[in-house]
Amino acid sequence: MYGWQVAALICGLACSTQRVSGQTPSAPAGLVEVTGRVVNALTGAAIPRALVTLNSRTVLSDAEGNFSFPQFQPNASGVQAYVLAQKPGFAAALNPLESMAQQAVADVTAPLELKLYPDGLISGRVTNARGEPLSKLQVTVFRESGDDTQTRMQPVGLTMTDFHGEYRFDQPPGHYAVLLRYTSHGDDPEEVVLPVRFPEQSESSGAGSFPLSPGEQRTVDIQAKTGFAVPVTLKMDDSGERFGGLRVQAQAGSGSSLSLDAQASRSHGEYRVDLPPGVYSLHAARQVRDRRMEAESRVTVLEHGTAPVTLHFAELPLLPVQVVLDTSASGSTSGLQATQGITVQTPTPATFNLRLQKIAAAEEDEFSEIGLSSTGNSFFFEAGPGRYQLLSQGGGNWFIERASYGATDLLSHPLAVSSGAGGETIRLTVSSAIGQVAGTVRRNGAGASGYVYLFPHEASLTTLYPVRSEADGTFSHRLPPGTYTAVAFDHRYPGDLHDPAIKAEMLRLGATVQVTAGGQASVDLDQQPIEEVK
């Protein structure tokens, strides 16, 4: 611990018994001592040596979980208080989006109780059909995560089964899936372990996940499916060029995806992969200098040998992104900008936090989300063949009125990139004729901190706008003109806000608000119980 932190902690503990009306005798007028305790949310037991942050100040809790921040200027003097407690093995919130976010505190003169949730345990045993343990197999755990605009399964842990076929993951509360990866096993290189996922995926249930509660011990035993594989030789069509590692993915006709371990052969420019008999679509990727190259091919793997497959690599098309100003709406400063003194700077594509999200991408597809790249003043996406949704997380004082890719309207249709096609330009027509919505979030009739979600009714690259209310419940946010449904909760909603059923329930619970260019709309919201949204 730094010396100033030790001094602050010692001072806080020494002065805590002298506190009168939230102020120490030696503290200057208007300053208070903020005290509190960090506890286990399940047992109420004290958590020692937790890192507690109050705005930009930090201390460690003592052996009894107590902490103190002397001489803090409260919100009555214009300073809002935000706190966060952290310790390895614990999470600050049940929702992963809130675990690293400081929470607003309305009253710092009363002792604070900060709750931390203990991690859960996911463990299990991998066996074959005879119940025998399988060691040295790769197990991955995926967690449902993302931001308010997107929820997806991401890998958060990787381990190998031990001699007894066992594995374990310590993870914070959340929703998870466990995957036994496709791999060779044993001394026989032709024997492979086929991928097994828990829970299983299906078109009706989506990605599928199971909940892990704080402190829960969840057992996920996996019975591996084994088979035999046939070696397949992959030949590079430009083997003289130096490049990085080769990544190969095989898509079976059943829809399952296999990530293959490509081993370099003794022959220059050749690699070997092992595949069970069947028909596959191969997708290979490699890095050549500063460009990513991809190749696609189909292969029929036969039991008694398969002819070599030649991969024809090509550079991914660059999709330039161009911003066009709507001068009819943006040529003059709007009334809202004039009254608030907002300086409007000419936007670039980077202003709008753009990304391409691949539609129906496999969990293991490392290129399922593509960020915007730039060289000098040029902006572009480097995207392989597939169908993508263009997304934006807003642009401050600007918004996207129209987006097109050739003849495709990207506000309401996906962007399709075909193999070997040249890159069309993505054109964004933008405007600064922005509006604003403001209001108050209430709990039991009084203003309260919370989270507000604003769902646009019109087609948009930004599918929802999240905003956090202050401790007194007030909030404001700049929005493009249009109609919105606003709904408020006391904390971030933990589910997928793009699930049609969840979104329909949100729209039912919320209030409608109309935002006009340069106007200021108002809406007051009562916090809704999270459990009402199924």
At 364, is the pLDDT very low, low, confident or very high (cuts 50, 70, 90)? low
Percent of the chain with pLDDT over 70: 82
- 38 near 76, Cβ under 8 Å? no
pLDDT of residue 21: 36
- The pLDDT assigned to 4 comes to 39
Provide the pLDDT confidence category of residue 369 given band limits of 50, 70 and 90. Answer: confident
pLDDT surpasses 90 at 63: yes
Amino acid letter for position 359: I
Q: Is the pLDDT of residue 50 over 60?
A: yes
Residue 118 confidence (pLDDT) above 90: yes
| Token pair in block for residue 205 | 């249930």
Confidence of residue 325 (pLDDT cuts 50, 70, 90): very high
Q: What angle do CA 51, 56, 60 make, to 5 degrees?
A: 20
Residue 288 to residues 241, 294, 358, Cα–Cα distance (Å): 8, 10, 23
pLDDT value at residue 96? 72
- In the structure encoding, which two tokens stand for residue 50, read together? 């937790």
Q: Is the pLDDT of residue 6 over 50?
A: no
Residue at token pair 């507690």: 52
Higher local confidence (pLDDT), 448 or 533: 448
Higher pLDDT, 335 or 124: 124
- Residue 243 clears pLDDT 70, i.e. is over it: no
Cβ distance 233 to 271 under 8 Å? yes
Q: Do 148 and 97 contact (CB within 8 A), yes or no?
A: yes
**What whole-number distance in Å separates Cα of residue 259 and Cα of residue 262?**
9
pLDDT level of residue 244 (50, 70, 90 thresholds) = low
SS (H, E, C) 95-120: CHHHCCCCEEECCCCCCEEEEEEECE
pLDDT band at 362 (very low <50, low <70, confident <90, very high): low
Judge whether residue 525 has pLDDT over 80: yes
pLDDT band at 268 (very low <50, low <70, confident <90, very high): confident
> What local confidence, expressed as pLDDT, does residue 68 receive?
95
Q: pLDDT of 473-506, one tens digit each? A: 999 999 999 999 999 998 878 777 777 888 888 8
Average pLDDT over residues 3-24: 37
> Please, which pLDDT band fits residue 14 given cuts at 50, 70 and 90?
very low
Which range is most confident: 72-81, 91-100, 327-336?
91-100
Picking from 148, 169, 166, the residue whose alpha carbon sits closest to that of residue 158 is 169
CB 120, CB 215: distance < 8 Å? yes
- Mean pLDDT score of the chain, rounded to an integer? 83
DSSP E strand stretches across 383-491: 386-391, 399-405, 408-409, 415-417, 426-431, 435-443, 446-447, 451-456, 465-468, 474-479, 482-489
Q: What is residue 37's predicted lDDT score, i.e. its pLDDT? A: 97
Q: What's residue 205's pLDDT?
A: 47
Using DSSP bridges, classify how beta strands 435-443 and 520-522 pair: parallel, antiparallel or unpaired: parallel
Whether residue 143 contacts residue 175, with contact meaning beta carbons closer than 8 Å, is answered with: yes
pTM: 0.69
**Contact criterion met (CB below 8 Å) for 484 and 472:** no
| Beta strands across the sheet bearing 465-468 | 465-468, 451-456, 482-489, 511-515
Residue 54 has pLDDT above 70, yes or no: yes
Q: Cα(205)–Cα(154) distance, rounded to whole angstroms?
A: 18
